[in-house]
Structure 1
Amino acid sequence: MKRKIILCLSIAFMIFMTTLFVFYLIKDDTSNWQVALGGIIVSALPLLLLRLKNNPFNIPQILGYFLFLFCSTYLGSIALFYLHHKWWDSTLHFYKGAYVGVIAITLFKILVPSQNREDVSRWVLFLFVLSLGASASVFWEIYEFLGDLTFTHTMQRGGNTDTMYDLLCGLAGGLLIALYSLVRKQQV
């Protein structure tokens, strides 16, 4: 079932972004065709999971990835939600921090054998989840900075203030899931 969902969503999103890419390329809208091209690439990434014998990510995590792609690439950049809704950017950074926190829990389950999980301190899990959520925010801000230097000049319009809000929101999302993992370690 997961394979079909990944295949269907990846192909559908790639077709959607390819259509936008061609449309904005014909219109000579450089900023939007670049976003659409990026959307094609990131929507193809889940296809790599099809090569795994046992995909460790569950269906809600897969759907969450595509939800983030749609909200950030299409709604955020192309439909200009980042410009028209001040809360949009912060909300996505919070979501990203929480989403990466959930992925961190999955990675914990992959990396730590089930018979050894009881021996791992709940604080180690907490720090692992929080660190991945915070790191994702840092890498995203580096991506925005480099993107503005080389391509669009639109991702960091708010400057340092925007960057700090984004980092804090991403950290808050990661902290929420880290606290969940701290309290519910036995069920994780």
Structure 2
Amino acid sequence: MFKKRPDAKTIIAILLAITLAGSIVYSAMCLAMAPEAGADESVRVRSDYILMLSQCCLGLLVMFVPSVLQRRWTWPIPDFMHILYFIFLYCAIYLGEVRNFYYLVPNWDTWLHTFSGGMLGALGFVVVDQLNEVRGVPVKLGPKFIGIFALCFAMTVGALWEIYEFTFDGLLGLNMQKFRLENGVELVGRAALRDTMKDLIVDLVGALLVVGTGYIGARRKDKARREAERSR
């Protein structure tokens, strides 16, 4: 008998794990040799590699979260959600931190936050849809509730991410929230808040785009279900 060929989700997961593991080794080696301060802004220093190492380690851990949750609660998460999640981690950690796309590609961080907001909004719809399919539950959640839940879910995760960035900026002396310029000068007032607020706003934009589309689809599905029940 032929062995079952791995699906796209498995192949992408393996490639991501190998990439992140290799990046951990690379960033650890560079950290050991990096200077405390660079002669110019193009030179990466120890704090840059600390951020890179921490992000790669975190990425290698959180890439398994959907699979763990799926086994824990026996809720099937669609393969496309896994694939979107893996693509996001690759773009955010490997391309963003390791390959320095955050500085090389204009608005890379903005596009990633928009993408993640939409992805989390879609995940919110998946969660509620699974609840609606549970047998023995007398309550069926309507399209409006599903849309509100999905939007709140996406924004909550986005806010938790900003808390994570704020916390580790303070603990490790990092600059994930971009409150400090590359030359070390700290921003003040609205300028210091600009990156965080921009991230939350584009999270909202991405979530609204997906939630709005999902709401229309859920409303049509709910209407079709009601008509089918009346015709019985």
TM-score, length-scaled by structure 1: 0.85
Q: Distance in 1 between matches of 2:145 and 2:71?
A: 31
**2:208 alignment counterpart:** 175
Q: How does 1:104-143 map to 2 (within 5 A)?
A: 104-113=124-133, 120-143=141-164
Relative to structure 1, the CA distance from residue 131 to residue 46 in structure 2 (aligned partners, 3 Å threshold; closer, same or farther) is closer
Q: Distance in 2 between matches of 1:82 and 1:132?
A: 26
Q: Distance in 2 between matches of 1:51 and 1:5?
A: 19
**1:40 alignment counterpart:** 60
Relative to structure 1, the CA distance from residue 118 to residue 44 in structure 2 (aligned partners, 3 Å threshold; closer, same or farther) is closer
Relative to structure 1, the CA distance from residue 145 to residue 76 in structure 2 (aligned partners, 3 Å threshold; closer, same or farther) is same
Q: Distance in 2 between matches of 1:18 and 1:63?
A: 19
Q: Distance in 1 between matches of 2:109 and 2:115?
A: 10
Q: How does 1:20-169 map to 2 (within 5 A)?
A: 20-28=23-31, 29-48=49-68, 51=71, 56-113=76-133, 120-151=141-172, 153-158=174-179, 159-169=192-202
Which amino acid in the other structure matches residue 145 of structure 2?
V
Q: Percent identity?
A: 25
8 Å contact kept, 1:129–1:177? no
TM-score, length-scaled by structure 2: 0.70
Deviation at 1:23, TM superposition (A): 1.8
Deviation at 1:61, TM superposition (A): 1.0
Deviation at 1:85, TM superposition (A): 2.7
Deviations 1:53-103 (A, max 9, x none): 955222211110000000100111121111233411111111111001111
Relative to structure 1, the CA distance from residue 57 to residue 119 in structure 2 (aligned partners, 3 Å threshold; closer, same or farther) is closer
Which amino acid in the other structure matches residue 173 of structure 1?
G
8 Å contact kept, 1:133–1:175? no
Deviations 1:131-163 (A, max 9, x none): 112112111111111121122512111531111
Deviation at 1:34, TM superposition (A): 2.1
8 Å contact kept, 2:70–2:77? no
Name stretches of at least 5 consecutive residues in structure 2 with no aligned partner.
32-48, 180-191, 223-232
RMSD of aligned residue pairs (Cα, Å): 2.7
Q: Distance in 1 between matches of 2:83 and 2:138?
A: 27
8 Å contact kept, 2:113–2:203? yes
Q: State yes or no: 1:187 paired with 2:224.
A: no
8 Å contact kept, 2:96–2:102? yes
8 Å contact kept, 2:66–2:77? no
SS in 2 for 1:97: helix
Q: Which has the higher helix share?
A: 1
Whichever of the two has the greater Rg, that structure is 2
Range moving further from structure 2, 104-113 or 165-174: 104-113
Q: Distance in 1 between matches of 2:29 and 2:116?
A: 32
Which amino acid in the other structure matches residue 142 of structure 1?
I
Range moving further from structure 2, 123-132 or 152-161: 152-161
Deviation at 1:119, TM superposition (A): 5.1
8 Å contact kept, 2:23–2:98? no
Number of corresponding residues: 187
